[in-house]
Chains A and B, each alone.
Chain A
Amino acid sequence: MTRFVLGRLAWMAAILLGVSLVAFLLMRAIPGDFAIAAAGSQSVAPEVLAAIRRDLGLDQPLMAQYLGWLGHALTGDLGTSFVTRRPVLGELLDRLAVTIQLTLLAAVIAAAMGVATGLAAARLRGVTDWLVRLWNGLMLAVPNYVVATLIVLLFGLYFPEVTVLGYTPFLENPLANLASLLLPAIALALAVSVTIAENTRAAVLEVANQDFVMVARAKGLTPATILRDYLMRNALTPVVTAAGLKIAALLGGSILVETIFAIPGMGQYLFDSINSRDYPVIQAIVLVAAGIVVLVNTLIDIAYARIDARVQM
């Protein structure tokens, strides 16, 4: 087990390295001069341009630049924004906090909705099952930004007095914070909850067919006990791990949802920085976002392997 964990962590480090390389190369692949982008305007004196080049290390070989950038990144220096001229790290962390709040809320909603509907479909069957599956099938076809836009439209048309856009920080007003994140979280959660529902349904159906569930019934245990200890404990393990892997989808989707609901998170930061050609920021966001996804996926892989070892035999 320890060997596996170490191996997995080493693998994670390797992927992160690859991710950083991709993030770095992407920004160096842009057409046009990096230095000009840094300067912010086309008409800049050549001496200034040369100074900028030296400053950013652009006169060094690519590999050296990459290693320099990587070294800085590992110590927390993610560069300086072309637009604000301030360190990227500070702004990024603030935005990241907001995105994490949104993503966590969405994850909770998705899990609750998904497990509940999946369980209902699997145990109640009949019409409920059919309805749930229909809903699931349709919802998979509606992208999260379409849902988000439609929600804003709905409120705009029928509840114009309710503010759906914007964000209130938690420390300012916890309740308002939750209210401002609720609708975007739902928009974000919907598609993911559908996948969780399908997984839960399949898992519960599969477990319910197992011999040990029949044995549990023959023992005269109450349905509640059987559901909790025999069905869910076995069904949820694969569901939870599959759900955890959806973090990637949630992070990707948050880019769109934040933009629509005017939430100042990392997604909107990315959007703004693309529009303003703020390359150090884009680079940093790509690195951090991908890094988080890789980290979470690795942790889930490890957790699942530990549980799976038990179930294996």
Chain B
Amino acid sequence: MSGPAQESGQAAAAAPAGAGRRGGLGQGWPLLGLGLAMLALMLALTVFAPLVAPYDPSATSPDSLAPASAAHWLGTDSIGRDVLSRLIVGGRTTLLITVAAVLIALVAGLILGLAAGYLGGRTDEIVMRLLDVVFAFPVLLLAIAVVAALGPTVPNLILTIAIVYTPAMARVVRAPVLSVKRWDHVEAARSVGMSEMRLVLRHILPIVVSPILVATSLTLSQTIFTVTALSFLGLGPPPPDPNWGGMLSEARQFMELAPLTVIGPAAAIVFATLTFIIIANGLREVLDVGSVR
């Protein structure tokens, strides 16, 4: 009955008991530390964006398509706006949407996954089948369709992306729950008369935490892609909010004249995505989730 498993679901749910050998791109802790440092940097820059950005991101100037200089570290775009400032402020919106959407997907996925996994039987079937329908759509396609239908406002974007990634999250939660359900100490606790709710919270939830953390991180990286892709296509937060995808798209027209207008947003997108991927891999090794050699 199971359909195709997307990256995060499949990888993270593969072996909650940990079949991995440490190694690969680096041991757990340094990798995780690096990722968290990168995240801290991003958060610092974006949370304090208005203070950090040297210029008003919407401020135009006659100095258009300027190369990097002391005044404009990353140059200016076609109507003279400072690229660096737009990147910093744009990052704020992008991260806001990303984090909010993934948090919602996480909560929804937790509820659905726990319900489906623990209650089993018909509940499991119904929930999973409904999620499979959502899951069947290519992520970007569905996101585009929903945003096109509802209109590209920030709340709609958050909701859309949350919907799109909920099935994957639910799967990641469900898998360990299904296996843990039968464990001896769970049976024992149940036989002693522990209430179902306590059972779920005290015994089952901790098992789910590790793969969920990894999956959340991976989903965050995928969401950056989706959010910036949507804004690239013009379906992102409406102006005057700058956003990385939109900046990239606008820059295409004159990019040979001012490569930084493209390289700037590109680098920002890659940096953000890489941050979450590194965190995911670091978590995977530290928590010994799944098998990545």
Contacts and interface: CB of A to CB of B under 8 A. Distances in A.
Contacts of B292: 202
A212 to B, nearest CB: 20
A149 B293 contact: no
**Looking at A31, A146, A150, which has the most chain B CB atoms within 10 Å of its CB?**
A146
A260 to B, nearest CB: 7
A14 B252 contact: no
Contacts of B189: none
Contacts of B201: none
B9 to A, nearest CB: 12
Contacts of B4: 245, 248, 297, 300-301
A93 B43 CA distance: 46
B145 A26 contact: yes
Contact of B140 (A15, A137, A195, A255): A255
**Looking at B140, B146, B150, B262, which has the most chain A CB atoms within 10 Å of its CB?**
B140
A202 B293 contact: yes
Contact of A141 (B7, B141, B151, B270): B270
A242 B46 CA distance: 37
Nearest to A246: B4
Nearest to B291: A202
Interface stretch (B67-75, B100-108, B232-240): B232-240
A289 B141 contact: yes
Interface stretch (B84-92, B131-139, B207-215): B131-139
Interface string B119-133: 000000000011011
B229 A150 contact: no
Interface string A142-158: 11011001101100110
Q: Is the interface of A mostly helix, strand, loop or mixed?
A: helix
Contacts of A149: 248, 252, 255, 262, 266
A11 interface: yes
Interface in B244-290: 248, 252, 255-256, 259, 262-263, 266, 269-270, 273-274, 277, 281
A290 interface: yes
A205 interface: yes
A297 B136 contact: yes
Contact of B137 (A255, A275, A293): A293
A19 interface: yes
A212 B140 CA distance: 43
A22 B134 CA distance: 9
B133 A274 contact: no
Given A253-B140, A260-B252, A289-B141, A297 B3 contact: yes
B138 A290 contact: yes
A271 B145 contact: no
B262 A150 contact: yes
A49 interface: no
Nearest to A21: B133
A18 interface: yes
Given A15-B133, A31-B151, A282 B233 contact: no
Given A150-B266, A256-B229, A19 B1 contact: no
Interface string A72-95: 000000000000000000000000
Given A19-B136, A286-B145, A146 B248 contact: yes
A87 to B, nearest CB: 21
Given A15-B133, A146-B270, A255-B141, A301 B3 contact: yes
Contacts of A157: 256, 259
Interface residues of B, number: 51
A169 interface: no
A30 B150 contact: yes
Contacts of B270: 141-142, 146
A115 B132 CA distance: 29
Contacts of A301: 3-4
B141 A286 contact: yes
A270 interface: yes
A210 to B, nearest CB: 15
A146 B24 CA distance: 26
B25 interface: yes
B256 A255 contact: no
A259 interface: yes
Nearest to B271: A141
A191 to B, nearest CB: 9
Interface string A41-57: 00000000000000000
A15 B259 CA distance: 45
Contacts of A142: 266, 269-270, 273
A29 B148 CA distance: 10
B140 A274 contact: no
A29 B146 CA distance: 9
Nearest to B252: A149
15 contacts: A18-B136, A23-B145, A26-B149, A30-B151, A31-B150, A137-B281, A138-B274, A149-B255, A156-B255, A202-B291, A251-B138, A252-B139, A255-B141, A275-B234, A282-B145
Closest 9 CB pairs of A and B: A18-B133, A252-B138, A252-B140, A141-B274, A245-B4, A141-B273, A248-B138, A156-B256, A26-B149
Given A138-B274, A293-B136, 4 more contacts: A30-B149, A252-B139, A289-B138, A290-B138
